[in-house]
Amino acid sequence: MRRPTSRPSPTSASPETARRPSSPNRPHPNDRRRRLMTDVAVLGLGNMGAALARAFLAKGHATAVWNRTPAKAQALAELGARVSPDAASAIRVAPISLVCVERYDQVRALLEEADAAGALAGSAIVNVTWGSPEEARDMETWVADRGAQYLDSDIYDYPDAIGNDIPVVPYAGGRAVYDRFADLLSALGPAHYHGPDPAVPNILGSAVAAYHHVAAAAFFEAAAYADGYGVSPREFLEFNALVGQPLTERAVRRGVAEIEDGDFRAGQASLHAHYDAAIVNRDDRRRIGQPAPMLAAFCDLVEPLLANQGDLELAAIFQPLRAER
């Protein structure tokens, strides 16, 4: 990958020197720039950032790396990464830079440094750091105001999935910059473009994380219940994979169609029916002295809706859960 020709670079030859014929003994100034160029830079080499850099290197991409604590770059240097002394240098030697630190305020601070050093304008920044929807929108505006292109991203898996079996990596922001770098970014995992609003990856990420936490907690609560009666967590796991997961998948797909249609009268199972089953379940756990906070939360959620919406399907809980904007 080559840096856009419009991008100013301290290593660029002046028009005068660019016209000077190169000699076999003296490297042409542009040769130096080519030697310095990498395909991609990764800034922030914690668990996730290091995994991103390893995935690029494994796919044969020349990769510049930078980390606040330089020692973390050593293992990547041994894999062939080019270690940059500061964030600005890393951004300068690559046409696209991925930033993966803990928070957006840290991203902003290191991009401010790069901007002060003249490295930001003309570059493309992909912010893989997790944050809020508002932070992503603010960051895009701030980066664009400094003449750089911006994509936001978020990763919904562990570092060992990067470049291996990660399902998808979402990107949102400028379509042109996504199209230009989509092949390179696919080194991390299948790349999906989610439109111009840079907030979308963080919104999807927060939604997936919340679903993951609650669903996993509900699984372990149910496994503890089964275990209390002598059915092992393993037996529950295998049975749930055959029965509970497909049941839930069908129910949420049907529920989303109901949300889209605005009609929750499908006649499959009413909120009353779900609530009655959940109460029996909850009370059985209380009788054997087992805490069941997930189930109790479900009962607390549904109970106030029974009076007016008790005959509707489960997806009718969606509307009262929405924040009014």
68 binds ligand NAP, rule: CB under 6 A? yes
* Contact assessment for residue 201 and residue 130, using Cβ atoms and an 8 Å cutoff: no
Closest CB 211 distance from ligand NAP, rounded Å? 15
46 binds ligand NAP, rule: CB under 6 A? yes
Q: Find the binder of ligand NAP among 38, 63, 67, 84 (CB under 6 A).
A: 67
SS3 content of the chain, % helix, strand, coil (to 5): 55, 10, 35
Closer by beta carbon to ligand NAP, 74 or else 319: 74
Q: Find the binder of ligand NAP among 14, 25, 69, 308 (CB under 6 A).
A: 69
Q: Find the binder of ligand NAP among 57, 73, 81, 155 (CB under 6 A).
A: 155
281 binds ligand NAP, rule: CB under 6 A? no
The Cα–Cα gap between 91 and 99 comes to 10
Closer by beta carbon to ligand NAP, 66 or else 298: 66
Closer by beta carbon to ligand NAP, 101 or else 177: 101
Closest CB 158 distance from ligand NAP, rounded Å? 5
Tokens of 190: 């299948």
Q: How many residues does the chain have?
A: 325
Helix axes 293-302, 271-287, angle to 10 degrees: 150
The one-character DSSP state at 60 is: T
97 binds ligand NAP, rule: CB under 6 A? no
- What SS3 class is residue 151? strand
The Cα–Cα gap between 128 and 47 comes to 13
The Cα–Cα gap between 290 and 283 comes to 10
Contacts of 260 (CB under 8 A, 6+ apart): none
Q: List the Cα angle 97/141/3 in 5-degree steps.
A: 30
104 binds ligand NAP, rule: CB under 6 A? no
The Cα–Cα gap between 42 and 98 comes to 5
Stretch that binds ligand NAP, among 45-53, 229-237, 240-248, 290-298 (CB under 6 A): 45-53
Q: Find the binder of ligand NAP among 22, 158, 167, 220 (CB under 6 A).
A: 158
Closer by beta carbon to ligand NAP, 98 or else 314: 98
The one-character DSSP state at 216 is: H
- The residue number whose beta carbon is nearest to ligand NAP equals 46
110 binds ligand NAP, rule: CB under 6 A? yes
The Cα–Cα gap between 61 and 58 comes to 7
* Contact assessment for residue 307 and residue 297, using Cβ atoms and an 8 Å cutoff: no
101 binds ligand NAP, rule: CB under 6 A? yes
Closest CB 127 distance from ligand NAP, rounded Å? 9
Q: Find the binder of ligand NAP among 40, 44, 162, 270 (CB under 6 A).
A: 44
Closest CB 100 distance from ligand NAP, rounded Å? 5
Closer by beta carbon to ligand NAP, 72 or else 194: 72
Stretch that binds ligand NAP, among 61-69, 218-226, 241-249, 290-298 (CB under 6 A): 61-69
Rounding to the nearest 10 degrees, give the CA dihedral for residues 302, 306, 312, 316: -40
What residue ranges bind ligand NAP (CB under 6 A)? 44-49, 67-69, 72, 100-102, 106, 110, 129-130, 155, 158-159
